[in-house]
Amino acid sequence: MTVNLSLKHRFEQFDLNVSFEAPKGLTVLFGASGSGKTTIINAIAGLLQPNHAQIKVGDTLLQDTDQGIWVPPHKRALGYIFQDSRLFPHLNVGQNLDYAGRVTGGMAARKSSVQQRSYVIDMLDIGDILKRRPATLSGGEKQRVAIGRALLASPQLILADEPLAALDAARKAEILPYFERIRDETDCPIIYVSHAASEVARLATTVVALKAGQVLRMGPALDVLADPSVMPVGVGSVGAVIEARVHAHHGDGLTELSAGGVTLYLPRLPQSLGAVVRVRLPASDVLLATCAPKDISALNTLQGQVQDIQAISDFAVLVTLKTQAGPVLARVTRRSVAALGLSVGVTCYAIAKTVAIAADDTADFT
């Protein structure tokens, strides 16, 4: 199922003009505050009627202003996951889940939803808390129930508006794998709003970067995240994301990863041999050298050629290196660029001070 969308809307002081396609998987909308993310979510939900819109989920047209088509919000097969879980406080977890089924149910739907219900409960590990009321649940448990409720509405599309923003790091880490499972195990596309680079790095299949109501860049997540022009959209800790395979677990507590022939070391990872993980290299933690470093404590060095140098302030630049593992970004001073004689095509070495599994920033490593 693919979502196709084209929206134009004018508020008094803001113009939205976006078109994009969200394929199967998880599409992250990201951009600075006020760039239009929530306006897009509201238009898809039917809570805002844009001046001009065409919104199509699979073969279903939710809105086409040219043809006068507008499906009201309650008739759109959408699942919502908000920052605050918005569970019904007077219903227990099981009843909250059943409520989603009641909204969408007919007899046939109800029969198949019995199987679906147990699948969703297993997937989200909420079988033990079905009898509890929301007030007795942790933030992470509430969000898992909210995800379950969204899934049981038999949605054609899930809209998740900063679903982890209210959770602390530990609860975030608890929920992220469930989004990965929905992304990988269901056909239902997810449109997901986030400000967090680490979350985007870990979850996104596709990224739509927004700036002042326009699409700045969109495409496969790893390509967009490696594009220095996306940096001004206000996402903190810009940095390349590369995919690597777990190659070996060593006796000294390190895991060896292989990324396109480049070897990286991280503190021991739980993943088994052969697993593919996404690794984040924050640009501010990457140093550059024009000769291969020796006698240095950092273990992760990537050789590459300078592909691009972009000024990001009066004194700082973002250098993109093309390496065998993929593009790597380094944030360095103009003075360093001059001192090292860097220009497009020059071979140099990126030394990663910290390398972390995406969305697990506790695994920083020098």
Ligand X SMILES: Nc1ncnc2c1ncn2[C@@H]1O[C@H](COP(=O)(O)OP(=O)(O)OP(=O)(O)O)[C@@H](O)[C@H]1O
Quick check: helix, strand or coil at residue 252? coil
Q: Which is nearer to ligand X, 27 or 39 (CB)?
A: 39
> Can you give the binding site for ligand X, defined by CB under 6 A?
11-12, 14, 31, 33-39
Bridge partners, 347 (sequence order): 305
Nearer to ligand X, 194 or 320 (CB): 194
**Closest listed residue to residue 65, CA positions, set 77, 54, 79, 74:** 54
- What is the nearest approach in angstroms of ligand X to the Cβ of residue 55? 16
**In the complex, what is the shortest distance from the CB of residue 37 to ligand X, in angstroms, rounded to a whole number?**
4
Element of type H or E holding 307: strand 300-311
In angstroms, what is the minimal distance from the CB of 18 to ligand X?
A: 11
* Strand boundaries in 205-253, DSSP class E: 206-211, 214-220, 239-249
Residue 150, burial from CB neighbour count under 10 angstroms (0-12, 13-18, 19+): buried
Cβ of residue 323: shortest distance to ligand X, in angstroms? 33
C-beta of 203 vs 350, nearer to ligand X: 203
d(CA 109, CA 104): 8
| Residue 63 CB, nearest approach to ligand X (Å) | 17
- Residue 217 CB, nearest approach to ligand X (Å): 16
User: Which among 348, 344, 340, 346 has a CA at the least distance from the CA of 307?
Assistant: 344
- Concatenating the DSSP letter of every residue in 185-200 gives H-S--EEEE---HHHH
Whose Cβ is closer to ligand X: residue 233's or residue 355's? 233
Amino acid at 40: I
Taking the complex as a whole, the smallest distance from the CB of residue 173 to ligand X amounts, in Å, to 23
Q: Which is nearer to ligand X, 13 or 67 (CB)?
A: 13
- Cβ of residue 5: shortest distance to ligand X, in angstroms? 14
At residue 230, what are phi and psi to the nearest 5 degrees?
A: -80, -20
Rounded to a whole number of angstroms, the minimum distance from the CB of residue 31 to ligand X is: 6
Sheet holding 78-81, edge to edge: 69-70, 60-64, 52-57, 3-11, 14-22, 214-220, 206-211, 26-31, 190-193, 157-161, 78-81
Instruction: Output the smallest distance, CB 35 to ligand X, in A.
Output: 4
Is the CB of 31 or the CB of 79 nearer to ligand X?
31
Contacts of residue 42, defined as CB under 8 A and 6 or more positions apart, other chains included, come to 48
| Stretch (H or E) spanning 283 | none
Query: Which of 293, 352, 346, 294 is CA-nearest to residue 321?
Result: 346
Instruction: CB nearer to ligand X: give 14 or 315.
Output: 14
Q: Which is nearer to ligand X, 81 or 244 (CB)?
A: 81
Question: Counting Cβ atoms within 10 Å, is residue 321 exposed (0-12), middle (13-18) or buried (19+)?
Answer: buried
Tell me whether residue 61 or residue 212 sits nearer to ligand X (CB atom): 212
What distance in Å separates the CA atoms of residue 6 and residue 17, rounded to the nearest whole number?
8
Neighbours of 43 (CB within 10 A): 22
